[in-house]
Structure 1
Amino acid sequence: MTTGRIEMGPTARTVGANLRRLREARGISLRTLSERLNDAGRSLSADAINKIENCRLADGSTSAKQMRRADVDDLTALALVLNVSPLTLLLPAASGDERARLTDTVDVAARDAWRWAEGSQSIPVAEDAAVQHERQTAYDNLALPPERRRLESLPAVQSVRRLHETLAELAQISRGESQSSPHAARTAQRRHQQLGHEIEEIVDGLPTG
């Protein structure tokens, strides 16, 4: 006997939560988002978008008729219309030690999830250093397009990436310790974001020959 209830996986729940968070941050209604998606070439009704957002609540008690998984075409169009990276929808809105559940059995630090998704690090699932090194080598061979991979392997680029990560950690600390001075926390976060854009410009401007 079917109960008409389903359990969404962790990524579907993350996408649902992020979609609602980003849509509300943009001040866009379900209907307006539907119209903009249609203009972008992806037809999704306001009801369908609402059902994707409902996945954030999936705990075994939500009716299957009230939920809808976002497929890859949905995800791409939503990211375009919301003006974010697809990763912003796929991954938790955290980048530090907070836990990020990627599957029902893989749970990693949010920082590691973002590094993995951005093409810089294999998910650290092996305790043995040699095994993890092999995983990282295999990851490096295919995670990025060949030319991008060559650029990312340059020592200067790796140094700048490490600096960016360090500043991200400092910004996170600043946010935690600056409750009495929210302006300082916002300033640190903005500077970190600006540095990230500057790094991307440096990488994109490197010679490819």
Structure 2
Amino acid sequence: MAGREMHMGPTGDTVRENVAFFRELSGMTFAALSRRLEELGRPIPPLGLRRIEAGERRVDVDDLAALAVALNVNPNTLLFPRTMGDFIEARVTGVAEQPASRVWQWGRGWAPLIGQSIRIDAFREFVRPHVVLGPEERADARRRWVEGELRRIEEEDAALLATLEAEEGRRIDPADFDPGTEFLKEELRALDPEDDAAWAERPDDPAPPARGSRMDPRENWRPARA
């Protein structure tokens, strides 16, 4: 029937339980929390808070955000179970019970909740906030990346030299050892971390500009597999 109110789901139950837990943990009375919410511009009277904790009043998204601010917690702290583990079951509206650790992976934006297993590279298939860096931040990120690449190449060269010395049973003068990586190192050293145009020609820019970059979630996103 149109306009019929739906019953509160499992996420609503979790929210009301967490609101009660963190309100009591902070030592706030209903009246104190109500005053704090009024200061934040999202007033809920003490009776309304009692009804929320009793499951008699729903919490909409604006209420949720204001309650999280008032209680000094992350919104996810109110949305998800307070315990996390592979063997702890958690209920989320719209899906069957899931391991609480998986629910939190989803809540943190690391992987979809359903449709595929959690993998280290799952973020490539899941929408997360698009990180937008300023010019100085991009330059710093590129500079750190270049330093890391140079260090990696030098470590690989040293490992190759040690392998050759072990195979030949003698010490090899580093001056006589040419691993063929000097050109690559010179190319890395010549990169200007502030030159967006030059980095745009490379496939390995660790901090591309915001729009049109390979980090744009519109380019990386695809639906989770069923």
TM-score w.r.t. structure 2 length? 0.52
Kindly state the Cα deviation for residue 107 of structure 1 after the two structures are TM-superposed: 1.8
**Is 1:95 the counterpart of 2:80 in the alignment?**
no
Please report how far the alpha carbon of residue 44 of structure 1 lies from its aligned counterpart in structure 2 after TM superposition.
0.4
Of residues 59, 70, 76, the one that matches 1:81 is 70
Go from structure 1 to structure 2 and tell me whether the alpha carbon gap of 1:21 and 1:95 turns closer, same or farther (over 3 Å shift): same
The match for 1:145 among 104, 110, 130 is 130
What is the DSSP-based 3-state SS (H/G/I as helix, E as strand, rest coil) of the residue aligned with 1:70? coil
Q: Gaps spanning 5+ residues in structure 1: where?
A: 56-66, 157-206
The Cα offsets for residues 45-83 of structure 1, whole Å up to 9 and x where unpaired, read as 01111111112xxxxxxxxxxx11101110111000100
Structure with the bigger percentage of helix: 1
Counterparts of 2:129 and 2:93, CA distance in 1: 22
Kept in 2: contact 1:10–1:104 (CA 8 A): no
1:69 corresponds in structure 2 to: 58
CA–CA distance in structure 2, aligned partners of residues 105 and 113 of structure 1: 11
CA distance, structure 2, for counterparts of residue 105 and residue 122 of structure 1: 12
Partners of 1:137 and 1:83 in 2: CA distance: 31
Count of matched residue positions in the alignment of Structure 1 and Structure 2: 136
SS in 1 for 2:20: helix
Counterpart code for 1:138 = E
Query: How much does 1:136 deviate?
Result: 5.8
CA distance in 1 between counterparts of 2:109 and 2:38 reads 31
State the identity %.
35
Residue in structure 2 matched with residue 122 of structure 1 by the alignment: 112
How far apart in 2 are the matches of 1:135 and 1:13?
29
Larger gyration radius, structure 1 or structure 2: 2
Q: TM-score, normalised by structure 1?
A: 0.56
Q: CA RMSD in A?
A: 3.3
More moved, 114-123 vs 10-19:
114-123
Q: Distance in 2 between matches of 1:42 and 1:17?
A: 20
Q: In 2, Cα distance between the equivalents of 1:208 and 1:99?
A: 38
List structure 1 runs of 4+ shifted beyond 6 angstroms: 132-135
